[in-house]
Amino acid sequence: MSEEAFYESVHAYFDRAALYSKFDAGILQQVKDCNAIYRMKFPVREDDGSIRVVEAFRAEHSYHRLPTKGGIRFSRMVSLNETIALASLMTYKCALVGVPFGGAKGGVKISPSQESEGFRERVTRRYTAELIRKNFIGPDIDVPAPDYGTGEKEMGWIVDTYKNIRMNEPNIYACVTGKPLAMQGIPGRTQATGQGVYFGLRSCLERPEVAKKLGLSPGLAGKRVILQGLGKVGYYAAKHLQQDGGAVIVGVSEQEGGIHNPEGLDIPALFAHRQETGSVLDYPGAENVDRAALLEYSCDILIPAALENQITAENAPRIQAKVIAEAANGPVDQAGDAILCQRGCLVIPDLFLNAGGVTVSYFEWLKNRAGVSFDRMISRHEEIANRNMVAAMETLTGQTLSVSHRDSLIHGPDELRLVVSALEQTMIRAYDRIHEVWLQRDLPDLRTAAFLLSIERVAESYSHHGIFP
Ligand code: NAD
């Protein structure tokens, strides 16, 4: 079963990296195991008045830091072991990018595209009530976020349900992230994971030694990219790669099929086309192709941004991309990974590459706890300093700046700019550190380096814990 393969892959990646760790086996076992699991079944009324029993999960993988944090997935493929594997990846990715949370994940077994909005709302509110009942949600306990099949709307229903049940608690808006702006969300969260994929890929491929080994020129400009999954993560990753990095998106694979154009696809226009027609197929200038076969087409970078186990021993020998950018969680299983590495393909691992989402979720959580937006605290202060600087420049040079030039110098960053620059800095720093560990400890690949770095950070934290009877 694919969810078993994913669970086993995450454990195998952990075990491979743990071989290089200085920590003893007991601490490593504690880092690896999932701390708590809540499995539930609850009744939800269908639109026609009948009752459906829905199965759902929440896994809190690691209490070395609190709160725990992780998205909620709506998919008919959700299972307990998939949820645990995803929760453990959350622990490792938080440790990697310096987000002070343990990992968690939620899963609800419904197929969101086939449900009405009313049914999804009733499921989300009931799931939230179940989490509250068992103390599996709260600003200092466990903080969900969007994942596959969920978005701002669901996060809005969660905070509204929480607020109405726990109205006397402080910081209630910090009980969930990825909320709409009007419900104390933060600008830049929706695009954060995809934009982080762009920053992470750029940090890696601008290294001349990495590019040379792959037979590529350094940087992203002109690189041919194939994307799987034009959802929240995939869309923004491709958009930023195209618009900010100068990459050429030559293929996009979706559930309904794939499209290919060696001259490049305009990602925002393609997104609009899919919204209008319900499909990526028949996009002007592109050829309709098989969605699975497209992953094996010639390109420099392949970005799986849909689900786990998309590259396995079955198709890995035919993959032509030189770089696999794991925007999704677990898109390459361990057998596929071994084949790709042996063929000289560089896999940029999920626990690093898609950590932009939790990074910006952390900013949202901080903002909710502070009860004030970031720019509000600094913009007036910076504006006064900048105004004084511009006045001094004008006095010294005897020249007056144009109104637009003056404005751009005086006004400080807005909240979105602050969020994006902090996200960029986080992804650059994390990559630098992984790269350093990769080389210094002579590790076989980037994934082992990323796992080792995060395992040791979590283990370090556990080794200071008291063990209570
Ligand atoms: P999403 O639901 O917004 O988009 C996923 C897209 O993949 C959908 O458009 C779907 O139709 C498509 N898809 C599904 N199966 C496919 C297939 N076989 N071939 C081609 N396309 C297929 O989900 P998302 O939030 O973008 O999440 C995608 C992945 O990224 C998941 O693995 C998720 O766990 C991971 N992730 C998401 C976030 C986040 O902030 N949303 C953060 C970190 C990691």
348 with 279, same domain: the answer is yes
357 Cα nearest atom in ligand 1: 40
| Paired tokens of 446 | 């980037």
pLDDT at site 377: 66
Minimal CA–CA distance to 357: which of 147, 173, 160? 147
Together in a domain, 124 and 210:
no
Q: Omega of the bond prior to 67 within 30 degrees of 0, cis?
A: yes
147 close to 73: Cβ distance less than 8 angstroms: yes
Distances (CA, A) of 107 to 56, 58, 154, 174, 266: 6, 6, 13, 20, 33
Q: Are residues 162 and 236 in the same domain?
A: no
Going by their DSSP bridges, the two strands 51-60 and 36-45 should be labelled as antiparallel
Sorted by sequence, the CB contacts under 8 Å of residue 230 that are 6+ apart come out as 238, 252, 254, 270, 271, 274, 280, 305
Which CATH number does the domain housing residue 249 bear?
Answer: 3.40.50.720
Same domain, 118 and 241: no
Element housing 461 (H / E)? helix 446-462
Q: Both 67 and 130 in a single domain?
A: yes
DSSP 191-206: HHHHHHHHHHHHHHHT
Q: What is the Cβ-side half-sphere exposure of residue 426, based on CA atoms within 13 angstroms?
A: 30
Determine the pLDDT at residue 342: 96
pLDDT tens per residue across all 469 residues of the chain: 566 889 999 999 999 999 999 999 999 999 999 999 999 999 999 999 999 999 999 999 999 999 999 999 999 999 999 999 999 999 999 999 999 999 999 999 999 999 999 999 999 999 999 999 999 999 999 999 999 999 999 999 999 999 999 999 999 999 999 999 999 999 999 999 999 999 999 999 999 999 999 999 999 999 999 999 999 999 999 999 999 999 999 999 999 999 999 999 999 999 999 999 999 999 999 999 999 999 999 999 999 999 999 999 999 999 999 999 999 999 999 999 999 999 999 999 999 999 999 999 999 999 999 887 777 766 677 778 888 888 888 888 888 888 877 877 777 668 898 899 999 999 999 999 999 999 999 999 999 999 999 999 999 998 877 665 5
Q: For residues 406 and 204, what is the distance between their CA atoms, to the nearest angstrom?
A: 37
Q: Which residues share a beta bridge with 287?
A: 260
**Closest ligand 1 atom to Cα of 355:** 43
What ligand 1 atom has the least distance to the C-alpha of 178? 40
Which of 353, 379, 396 is the endpoint of a domain? 353
**Domain co-membership, 74 together with 219:** no
Q: Are residues 139 and 237 in the same domain?
A: no
Nearest-atom number in ligand 1 for the CA of 112 is 2
The answer as to whether 199 is a domain residue is yes
Q: What is the DSSP letter of 396?
A: H
| In a shared domain, residues 307 and 199 | yes
Name the closest-CA residue to atom 38, ligand 1. Answer: 147
Evaluate: CB of 229 within 6 angstroms of ligand 1. Answer: yes
Q: Are residues 171 and 114 in the same domain?
A: yes
Cα 350 to averaged position of ligand 1 atoms, centre (Å): 13
The reply to whether 6 falls in a domain is no
Q: Supply the range of the domain harboring residue 126.
A: 36-183
Rounded CA separation 178/185 (Å): 6
DSSP for 327-391, please give it: -SSS-B-HHHHHHHHHTTPEEE-HHHHTTHHHHHHHHHHHHHHHTS-HHHHHHHHHHHHHHHHHH
Residue 47 Cα, ligand 1 centroid: separation in angstroms?
Answer: 27
Same domain, 176 and 197: no
The last residue of a domain, from among 149, 183, 217? 183
75 in contact with ligand 1, CB cutoff 6 A: no
Assess if residue 58 is contained within a domain. yes
Q: Is 193 within 8 Å of 235 (Cβ atoms)? A: no
Which residue is catalytic, options 32, 69, 93, 105? 105
Residue of the nearest CA to atom 14 in ligand 1?
A: 306
CB of 292 within 8 A of CB of 315? yes
DSSP-derived letter for residue 59 is: E
222 lies in the same domain as 254: yes
If one counts the domains in the chain, the total is 2
Please choose, from the candidates 112, 123, 124, the residue with its C-alpha nearest in 3D space to the C-alpha of residue 74.
112
Ligand 1 in reach of 253 Cβ (< 6 A): yes
What is the CATH classification number for the domain harbouring 133?
Answer: 3.40.50.10860
pLDDT at 366: 96
Distances (CA, A) of 201 to 80, 241, 341, 387: 31, 9, 17, 37
Which residue, judged by its Cα, is nearest atom 4 of ligand 1? 231
CA–CA dist 14, 8 (Å, integer)? 10
331 lines ligand 1 (CB under 6 A): no
Question: Does residue 322 have an active-site annotation?
Answer: no
Residues 197 and 338 grouped into a single domain? yes
